[in-house]
Amino acid sequence: MNLKQVAAVAGVSVSTVSRVLNGKSYVNEETRRIVTEAIRKTNYQPNALAQSLKMGRSNTICLMIPSIENLMFPKLTRGVEDEARKNGMTVFLCNTDEDATIEKSYLETMKQRWIDGFIVCSLGSDAPHIRSLRDEGYPLVLVNRFEESDIGKVDTVTSDNFQIGYDATRYLARIGHKRIAIVCGREELLLYRERLRGYRKALADSGLPEREEYLLRESGGSNGFYYQIRELAEQGQLPDAIFCTSDPKAFVVMHALHDMGLRIPEDVAVLGVDNVSMSAMVEPPLSTMTQHLYDMGMEAAKSLIRQIEYKDKYGELPKPQRMIMNSDLIVRRSTK
């Protein structure tokens, strides 16, 4: 079926059918009802590509993440998808594997598909191909990963990562721990630098010294923390609490402690960040600073849709906005 055939069944012009379909022009209710019934009877399916070419948009958005295997992204992805679906939009999910070449390839493919905008959770410190998207006129939202220089230049959605580091460390100090270590993330990423800054400020405010041996940094990936924990124990310098800057890092730390026959939290307390689904299922259940990942995904989608609609109306992108989300401490048995 095509528009002419639908118009013939409805007894109206092709342009009237088109106005009903795009919903942007006035059509009286009786005519709209007749056309809608004709569309139903003929089972007419609009050509999505043709509509995209005509309207200059496709009602599709791209979500770029490092890997869906990373436990924080399923919830975030669901938040993006649910909000997009409510607004009649479809989400393309792209796993970049932290590879700029893959990222660039996805960008070119998405542009060819008339993508309406990008939500990017995989930004590295050096990514001009991502940062240039807004200059090219594409609505863009950066989630969690961005630099201070990006603030005010592009829409951003993130947790208050300094506060996460501060609240986690202050909690451990408040319940009596004196030797608090931190399992750091990649310090080229602002979010992990901010969590480390919060940790340091909380130690100072709690009157506790910062010890270099308790700053555990990635070496050979997250599994490297397993051996660093064992090495501290062998040197007789094991901390009495460990703040891990993500839940997956906390799982590695807990694995090391279990293998050494140490009790959690009696010998060493462990606290994570994210509240991924597995955090309540490990033994003992992991205390964590929750990031509201589903809500973060929803807010990112709302931010992107706001830009898309503004551009449709005014022909340019709106002034960038910054969204900072709160986090909450969830106390489970790994710190009691």
pLDDT digits (tens, 9 = 90+) for 250-304: 999 999 999 999 999 999 999 999 999 999 999 999 999 999 999 999 999 999 9
Is residue 32 domain-resident? yes
- The per-residue pLDDT for 49 is 52
Question: ∠63-187-242 over CA atoms, to 5°?
Answer: 105
Q: What does pLDDT average to over the chain?
A: 92
CA-based radius of gyration for the chain? 25
Task: Give the contacts of 113 (CB within 8 A, at least 6 positions apart).
Answer: 58, 60, 92
- The per-residue pLDDT for 179 is 97
Half-sphere exposure of 84 (CA within 13 A, CB side): 27
Across 60-67, average pLDDT: 96
Same domain flag for 226 and 236: yes
Same domain flag for 135 and 281: no
Question: ∠54-59-60 over CA atoms, to 5°?
Answer: 125
Same domain flag for 146 and 62: yes
Is residue 335 domain-resident? no
Is residue 333 domain-resident? no
Number of domains in the chain: 3
Across 80-98, average pLDDT: 95
Same domain flag for 192 and 309: no
Same domain flag for 219 and 267: yes
Scan for tokens 């960040």, then name that residue: 273
Same domain flag for 253 and 307: no
CA–CA distance from 101 to each of 65, 144, 154 (Å)? 14, 21, 22
Q: Assign residue 175 the CATH number of its domain.
A: 3.40.50.2300
- The per-residue pLDDT for 56 is 56
Instruction: Look up the domain containing 203 and give its range.
Output: 161-291
Instruction: Strands of 279-321 (E only): list them.
Output: 287-290
Same domain flag for 167 and 144: no
Task: Give the contacts of 50 (CB within 8 A, at least 6 positions apart).
Answer: none
User: How confident is the model over 27-56, as pLDDT tens digits?
Assistant: 888 998 998 898 888 887 766 555 554 555
Is residue 330 domain-resident? no
* Long-range contacts (CB closer than 8 Å, 24 or more residues apart) made by 211-214: 211/179, 211/181, 213/237, 214/179, 214/180, 214/181, 214/182, 214/239
